[in-house]
Structure 1
Amino acid sequence: MHRPPDHRETRRTTDGQHARLPGWLRRIGIRQVRMFTGLVMFAYLLSHFLNHALGNISPEALEAGVLWHLEIWQFLPVAILFYGSVTIHAGLGLWALYQRRQFRWRTIEPLQLVLGLSVPLLIYSHVIGLRLSNVLYGIDKLYPQVLYAYWVASPSYRIWLMVTVMLVAWVHGCIGLALWLRIKPAFRKAMPWLLVLAVLIPTLALLGFYEGGRDVIRVATDPAWQDANLSIKQMGTLHQQQTLDWIGDAFVLGYLGLIALALIARAIRGLIERRGGMIRLTYGGDRTVRVPKGMSVLEASLRHNIPHASVCGGRARCSTCRIRVIGDVAELPPPTSREAFVLGSVGAADDPTIRLACQLRPTHDLTFLPVFPPRNVAAARQAARASRIGDERYLVSMFVDLRGSTQLAETRLPFDTVFIVNRFLGAVSRAVIACGGQPNQFVGDGVLALFGLSDTPREACRNAIRAAAAVAASVDELNELIGHDLGEPIRFGVGIHGGVAILGEIGYRDHMVFTALGDSVNVAARLQDMTKTLGCETLLSDETRATAGIAADLLPTQQAELRGRAEPMLVCPIAQSRDLATALDRSEAMLA
């Protein structure tokens, strides 16, 4: 009897094969090849733009710059690398057009694809007129000949076509760089400077192109200049130009044919998939959809508008789209090399029930549970209208901090770490809002929440204490959802203190934020930090306990030395934050 293949063994074999490869080689996939070839092309474009910018200095500087440019890019190994990168990058663009089943992604990604596919159509005449003419006929065109062709001999639309080429290629490259660098730690700090360069470089290049054109227009009627720059050796013959035009027309037809072929292949694939049968995907028993065989689970979610976590957009750069398969896994296709690498990075390589939704393309009915629930975007609660900037009022500050975030980042992909931290901050914020507070500042993996913007001091203290218990319950729910993928449950620390604070906006110009300032806020932060030393989840000042109306015998107290304070402070260390809800209930019963 035929036994279905056991993909547990397949995964072990695949992982073993990849384990024998160097780490850097196991990381290489289509995306890495696309990025490398794109970087090569962007380096060429940057060199070209900087050369154009020399036109702002003088025609002589422009001429000197192009000689260095050609010296680098016509060096045989570099030329092979460049033209190979152009060919591979264009081919991968056509492959992306064929492969992607759903285009309802973030706007920037289809825009990048469209811009990338349009570059060859915009630039082919420039490449054929300069490079191919030199290879076939030895025509040696430099800046004088190119500028003459655009600014004197050709219709004006050719100038605008060249400007469009430059901008489209530059924007396409900048989008690719931004998508690549956005997860790098230094990108946020460098982003303003990179934006300046992204605007300044093409601006200077276009101005240099314009200045060079003006210089050529001024001397174009000079017979001596024409004899020196418009010879047959430099411009070619009519027959040669006709041949180059024919090659250009053939390229356009061929390239458009390839795009049409990719679109036709998409249609044929869809027809084959529909005729090949439909399968049912069941989302944990909540919803079932029918999709063609071979469609990835994430694509199915997008097609049917089912929220599905995917921080990287389905490109196997993170593991937030992970699913846990329910039932037999023997009929699942084995993981791709990229999927195996990502699962290995998060410690899920040995669990055959864990798969990436963006990579898994089932051919049989499948029931699964998403490991990470989709992020819910909660509406931010505005500060109470009764509070005005500059007011002094009694506020309760609550700091909540995620424990072990450094170790979390060391053992996970960057996208996964960001996703988990955001889930934690969301769980804390929901608890704070439910108890009448306002999440005010997010600092790294911590939250500052304010209570009392429109409440009495007693209500503010009780709401903050109840929020600490609610945070514990909310984090417990989060641990139930993702705890099995973390190795250990999420832990946290809470510091609570009340006192008079000033409401105000701090920052600079357009970067102002509304917050509270005062010693009570600083004390709450130090109490949160002291929870690590005292080994408790929540540490609130005894003053806050008393203002909340909780009897002294309901909570433990002790003296604590706080950094920056001359005298010890009486605090209430709470080992389990959920116990605060019991203390509040008992205090209310005593008052009744």
Structure 2
Amino acid sequence: MTTFSTSARKKTHLVSGTVLGTFILCHFFNHSLGLISIDAMEAGRRTFNLLWHSVPGTILLYGALLLHFMMALDSLYRRQTLRMPAREALKIVFGLSLPFVLMAHVVAARVEPIFSGIEATYPEILRTLWSSSINTTRQTAALLLAWSHGCLGAWFWMRGRPWFPRYEILLYTIALLVPIFALLGFVNGARSLERVYAEHGGYGDTAYVGHNPRVDMALMEDIRLALYAGFGGLIAGTFALRALPKRGRIRVRYPDGRVAAVSLGFSVLEASRAAGIPHVSVCGGRGRCSTCRVRVIQGLDGQPEPEAAERATLTRIGAPDNVRLACQFRPVHSVTVVPILDTDSLGIKKQLAQQNGEGRERRIAVLFCDLRDFTRIAEHKLPFDTVFLLNRYFEMVGEAVESSGGVIDKFIGDGALAIFGLKTPFHEACLQSLAAAVRLSNGIQALNQTFDGELEQPLRLAIGLHAGPAIIGEMGYGRATSLTAVGDTINTASRLEGLAKEHDAELAVSVELVRRAGLDLEGNMRLDIGLRGRQATLETWILGSATQLSDVLPAAS
């Protein structure tokens, strides 16, 4: 029942937020029509009102507004600690501020027409808003707050989705341009209205006469104050309920002797934060990673079983029964836990607060390459000559990767790891990695020609290519911190590079990557290989030379 109720709350919050976001987007688009003319704004208003001012539309809009606000208060009440990341705090503050900056506009645009029977038009509303600097400032603040709250909510929901990296730049661009065009439309419409009134003394057949004489303005003011008081009372009541002593206290003990005494309902992660005890949680406590996991060494009996999301993550990492996710585990009696990944062992300091500090999942193409038998070659060369040769080789690899659209993740001995798809779609990343393999093959041949006569045997490459999901994030310590990738996709590419060596070939590439690139390598050797930790086999193409890809790659590659 708990699982269902938690899931239902999240879905209700998401659906109501989506309805409100759709309304805001329509409203902002209507504002932006002011860049064309007042007539365009008014035509847009009539069109959108067919939906939002209809009985079903009104019920949908204000039902979503009430539900979203109540769910926000419910979430605030259930939150065991107010310690949270700044972005999450801003989302809550913006959301709770919205009713107070929007109330005057809502009363003027929706309540007054109910009493007067006359629908408010864009000319009348713009004239009212533009006639007072207070009204103009309030409207601008409301516009920015509403959009910022919606964007933050959407970002929290989208950031862990596998498709988000592909559309990230587009979404950020939309998030920036929509309020800019809405504000410009609002300003341009109001200024053009001033010119119309100055020249003609009215707008069309309707002259502006100030407030509607059919409306009791004192009553409107009472309604505004009542709504302010109602929303303010709900917020104050929520904080008052939070301050009431809660029944039941438990203790979460840590290996260094520290103890967090918290109320029932706290998760272990929330207990750590409430007590000021550092606790790693890369995904922010949403159960989307396992970095917060703890080993329960005392008090596990009688605790709630893992819910579906936690169980799936624990199963994926092969965790034993006494390991739980701290962000999902809510003890019903005192426990002793040991965080498995502590901040010192991970080197996670303040840099995790930087933009790229948190890991995020992306679908990428990965290239592993390595010089074959280089140790034997280096044995017959002077150390400085070996360094010179390696630097020329590294330069060739870097140029091949970067000219294909990828980035060098790291050099490992005489090997290299390259990533494709950090800023390009998955399909293009796969093509880029194949093009890089061709350039590497051509580059090693050019090096052999350059050092002809100096090497006892020519330089030979082994290349492994695979594509799939990986976690991209800042890893390391201090100045050694860099953007890198981890996951099964990286391990598989490394395994394929070794497979190329086993078959005395230059390239081993997964069939999945070739398929994603939209290519066909029929006629080459194809193997089904087993990978450690996987039941299914991996279909792989084996090519004696990566230059064979030149026949199937698009010319632009």
User: Do both proteins adopt the same fold according to a TM-score greater than 0.5, normalized to the shorter chain?
Assistant: yes
Q: CA deviation at 1:43?
A: 0.5
Between the aligned partners of 1:461 and 1:239, the Cα distance in structure 2 is 95
- Provide the residue aligned with 2:94 in structure 1: 115
- Provide the residue aligned with 1:366 in structure 2: 335
- Whether 2:268 is the aligned partner of 1:291: answer no
Q: CA deviation at 1:448?
A: 7.8
- Provide the residue aligned with 1:206 in structure 2: 183
- Whether 2:21 is the aligned partner of 1:42: answer yes
Q: CA RMSD in A?
A: 4.5
Corresponding residue to 2:444 among 511, 519, 526 = 519
- Whether 2:227 is the aligned partner of 1:255: answer no
Q: CA deviation at 1:318?
A: 5.1
- Whether 2:103 is the aligned partner of 1:124: answer yes
Residues 445, 91 of structure 1: CA spacing in aligned structure 2 closer, same or farther, 3 A cutoff?
farther
- Whether 2:213 is the aligned partner of 1:237: answer yes
Corresponding residue to 2:42 among 63, 78, 83 = 63
- Provide the residue aligned with 2:158 in structure 1: 181
- Deviation digits for residues 304-337 of structure 1 (CA, Å, limit 9, x no counterpart): 33343433322345555444433454443x35xx
Q: CA deviation at 1:194?
A: 1.5
Q: CA deviation at 1:378?
A: 6.5
CA contact (8 A) 2:367 2:493 kept: no
- Deviation digits for residues 42-91 of structure 1 (CA, Å, limit 9, x no counterpart): 10000001111111111211111111110111232232121111001111
Between the aligned partners of 1:182 and 1:202, the Cα distance in structure 2 is 21
Corresponding residue to 1:137 among 116, 131, 134 = 116
Residues 220, 532 of structure 1: CA spacing in aligned structure 2 closer, same or farther, 3 A cutoff?
closer
SS in 2 for 1:178: helix
Letter in 2 for 1:34: H
- Provide the residue aligned with 1:281 in structure 2: 252
- Provide the residue aligned with 1:345 in structure 2: 312
SS in 2 for 1:147: helix
- Deviation digits for residues 77-131 of structure 1 (CA, Å, limit 9, x no counterpart): 2321211110011112222332223333322111111111111111011111111
- Provide the residue aligned with 1:501 in structure 2: 393
Corresponding residue to 1:159 among 136, 140, 148 = 136
- Provide the residue aligned with 1:589 in structure 2: none
SS in 1 for 2:161: coil
SS in 1 for 2:327: coil
CA contact (8 A) 1:322 1:370 kept: yes
Corresponding residue to 1:215 among 169, 192, 198 = 192
Q: CA deviation at 1:38?
A: 1.0
- Provide the residue aligned with 2:275 in structure 1: 304
Between the aligned partners of 1:102 and 1:446, the Cα distance in structure 2 is 44
- Provide the residue aligned with 1:103 in structure 2: 82
Q: TM-score, normalised by structure 2?
A: 0.63
Letter in 2 for 1:79: T
Q: CA deviation at 1:145?
A: 0.7
Between the aligned partners of 2:499 and 2:380, the Cα distance in structure 1 is 19
Between the aligned partners of 1:459 and 1:113, the Cα distance in structure 2 is 67
What 5-or-longer segments of structure 1 have no aligned partner? 1-13, 19-24, 380-417, 423-441, 451-455, 463-496, 542-557, 565-574, 577-592
Letter in 1 for 2:93: V
CA contact (8 A) 1:319 1:342 kept: no
CA contact (8 A) 1:528 1:538 kept: no
Q: TM-score, normalised by structure 1?
A: 0.60
- Deviation digits for residues 420-456 of structure 1 (CA, Å, limit 9, x no counterpart): x99xxxxxxxxxxxxxxxxxxx966777899xxxxx9
Q: How many residues align?
A: 416
Between the aligned partners of 1:170 and 1:148, the Cα distance in structure 2 is 23
What 5-or-longer segments of structure 2 have no aligned partner? 350-358, 372-376, 384-388, 411-415, 417-439, 448-458, 467-490, 509-530, 533-557
- Deviation digits for residues 553-586 of structure 1 (CA, Å, limit 9, x no counterpart): xxxxx8723249xxxxxxxxxx99xxxxxxxxxx
Q: CA deviation at 1:133?
A: 1.6
CA contact (8 A) 1:55 1:211 kept: yes
SS in 2 for 1:228: coil
Between the aligned partners of 1:199 and 1:460, the Cα distance in structure 2 is 58
Residues 320, 249 of structure 1: CA spacing in aligned structure 2 closer, same or farther, 3 A cutoff?
same
- Whether 2:248 is the aligned partner of 1:268: answer no
Residues 329, 241 of structure 1: CA spacing in aligned structure 2 closer, same or farther, 3 A cutoff?
same
Residues 560, 364 of structure 1: CA spacing in aligned structure 2 closer, same or farther, 3 A cutoff?
same
- Provide the residue aligned with 2:146 in structure 1: 169
Letter in 2 for 1:195: Y
Q: CA deviation at 1:461?
A: 13
Q: CA deviation at 1:360?
A: 3.3
Between the aligned partners of 1:127 and 1:98, the Cα distance in structure 2 is 27
SS in 2 for 1:169: helix
Between the aligned partners of 1:511 and 1:208, the Cα distance in structure 2 is 41
Between the aligned partners of 2:16 and 2:494, the Cα distance in structure 1 is 54
Residues 144, 224 of structure 1: CA spacing in aligned structure 2 closer, same or farther, 3 A cutoff?
closer
Query: Which segment is superposed worse, 160-169 or 512-521?
Result: 512-521
Q: CA deviation at 1:240?
A: 1.8
SS in 1 for 2:393: strand
- Whether 2:62 is the aligned partner of 1:83: answer yes
Corresponding residue to 1:325 among 278, 296, 307 = 296
Residues 306, 378 of structure 1: CA spacing in aligned structure 2 closer, same or farther, 3 A cutoff?
closer
